[in-house]
Each structure stands twice: as structure tokens, then as C-alpha cells.
Chains A and B, each alone.
Chain A
């Protein structure tokens, strides 16, 4: 499959259909696959695609103003759609080759058997957008419930829940990896860095990470989060950030009906739409 991908990328590059190719190449560590833009056919010899190519490439297409080919796994295409909907990506400037996916693996997993949590509960097995496909849509997964973890926390006593999150969030070193890797965190300037509202100063206060940062971030992406799981994958402190997002997704599903962000580029998001009818139906 990799050879076909290289072949097609070279063809599209040489024909002038695209002027660069977004994919992965080997990084400095054994299983590290880093996102990269290729601009020549020769460079494309370094294109890699295997289970370690977990990185969601959609975010790198933000603002692209030259025809760019991108290889996207099924789940990545949801982020692409969401970003097109939020007018951050000009779809006309992209050429999307949807590629098959058997689930990505953890970077640290030398044995090649540690599939990412997000892939174990994957629901986005079909490409939501593409110009052509190479390989199958995603391999079918075991029917694991992605909201099981949310349910466990909801079942806890409030004090236990508080302790659970405090224990996890206290490890946060505010490296901002979760924010930087998140496709829908595309603000020019993050509110946490913004001196205009005195929030940047608050960010330095004690216990901020435990009590504010991640909660605010989850709310800012609520209704827009495609559950791509990149925040969780990128966190060096192994904080289960996906649980915060999934809690909000689960609540939205309950209140507004099943909703998957990024399914298309038109449907208004449940929290970012004005609809008198819908407002009344929400029995809050």
C-alpha cells in the first residue's frame, strides 16, 4: 500500500495537480513517525505509513494556500471536515487521499501490540471526506463502548470524582501539547495567552491546571471535538484528557441527539447554532 501511496503522490506532484504532499516520515526514535511536507518526488521516497503514523495531519492543512495532497486516515477526515466548516481549511486547496487504517499504535510500544485506546473504541471507520481512496476504509473494530470510562466516573461519589481528577490533573506541566495538537484549537491567540481579559495572569495562579485549564479547554472544543484522541496521545503525563471531551460529547448526545462533529462540512454544531425549536427541546 505504501508503494501505491508513493506512486500516486509522485504522479500528482509531477502532474502539477499539487505542489506539496503532507505525510509522515521516520523520526529520530525507532517508532517515531513525524508529519512532513514533501515537495519533490525524490523526497517522497521517505514517505512512511504504518501503525505508528498516528498523527492526525488535518491540522497542518490550516491556512494552506497552495494545492496540497494529504494522506488522511478515516478518523482524520472528520477533523478535516470540522476545519473546513470552521473556515480554517480551504478544501479547494487540498487533495485528500483517504488511506486504510488498522488502528494506530503507541509510540512507546516496541512490541507493536499496544493499540491506542482511541483505536480500540473507534467509531469513525469510514472516511468522511476524500478525493480518492487507497486501501480499505478502516478495519472493523471490536464493539467497545467509548463512553464506558465516562460512565465509570459518573458513577463515582462526588468526592471520589474530585480526587480522581485532582490526581490526574495535578500531573499537568502545562506543556500545552494537548492544545497545540488539537485540530480545533486553531485560535490565532489562545485565551490562556491573552492579556486582554486578565486570564493569562490567572493562568499563573496555583492549582490553575487542576481546576481551570483543562475544563475550560474541554468547554472551548465542546460540540466541535471529533474525539480524534490526539490530546490524549500527545500528553506526556498520561492524563486521560479524552474522558473530559467524551463526557461533553456524551452530554451533547443526550441533550441534542447523536452528533458526531466533522461528519460533514455543513450541519450546524449543536452548541454553535441558533435554533429556537432545538433550544426548547433541550430539557435542561
Chain B
């Protein structure tokens, strides 16, 4: 349809992590982690609770600074960017936080208009039209005037996604998109992620441990482990579930542990 003519032969990775150490002071939770996410890929970061998935996400999106290594978006360093360039980076990605993280004092419409106000030259009515469109894309048409406290958890998440997509970012980060949602809503959200990728070519980086989502929409998964302090597997989830040599990976993806077989690991 509208083939994107790329001048360079080798396209830089949308998201690239180069040997980063993540943690909150003291011993890092993740050590020397390197991976890259291709443009238009749906990339899952998986692993058991406490393995550092959300920590990794916080370090990728700049909420925390890795103590070592570099994070690059489309081949350019995000960490070394000065204040002006940092703003350029910030508008190239959107983040869907776990609970939606909608600003509770603003209506849904205002929530979505805020990034537009900050980063575009659109006037008020254009912003509102665009916000209404974004809300209808996530199935929330007609809820423009609602406050976040007046809608359900699933709706908050969808509104959060509409806000994350407000600037049509090249990359969207999702923090546990299906946590706390019923299977149907969760599947719909997965479909929405697929749709956004197919329609807009958006790169999606998803932190999750929902097997249905992982097998349903992930192109590749990166599995983290607490003991290993980093990556223990990377690749197609279906192939990993069958062919991984690491029992931890097979166990996680195969869900073949019987109740009571190994119990909780003592922390």
C-alpha cells in the first residue's frame, strides 16, 4: 500500500539494550543484559515474579537510569540525550502503566489531550477530535467526559492505552497489560495490540506473564530469571516451550509443574 522506502539498508533496532545493569542501588537485579527489538515486533519480557521485568521496563523508559550500559531507540542513545533531545525521544514512545495511571483529576478526554497539548501545535477542537478518535479506537467512544474513578479497571486500562497512543508513537511499552482483567477483556486488549502493530507498524514491548498473551501475540520473548540476574532465554515462545534445553524455561512456558511438586522457592 504505502511502502516505506528506507534509505539505509540495515535498519537500526527500535529498542536496543547494550549490557545494562538494572537495580535500585546495591546489588543490581539484572546484570549485563543485551537484547534488541526489531521495528514492528511484538516483544515480550517474561519471567516469574520478582525477576526484574518491571524494573527492566522502568530502566528502558528512563524512569531509572541503568548503572552501566546503554539504551538506544532507533540506534540513538536515550541515556546520553540532553534535555532537548530527551523530549524528542519521549514523544516517540508511549507507556501503558499497570493500572492505566490516568490522572484522576482529569476526564478521559483531558487525559488524552494533555500529551497532544504538550507536543503538538493542534488547536483545542482538533485535539478534542483526535482524542475522541483515540478513545473510539479502544472502544470507549462516548466516555470522553468521564473521570477515571467512574469507569472500571478494564476501561481504565484501555483509556490508558488511548493516552499512550495519543501521539502515534513508534514504540509502545506495556506493563502487565492483562493483569487484573478478565479473560475476554484481556484477549480484546491483545487483539488491540496486534491491530495497532499491523495498522501502524508500532513496535510493542510487553512485560507480562500471561501465557495466553505470550502464545497468542508475541513474536519473540525474552525470559528473565531472578537467580541468573538476567536473560535465560530469547526467541519464539512456541519453539522455546518445546525445544528449550533450560528446564526453567520449559516449566514456565509449559506450565507442567504439578501443584505441590516443587512448592514456592524460599526467597
Chain A complexes with chain B: no
Interface residues of A (CB under 8 A from B): none
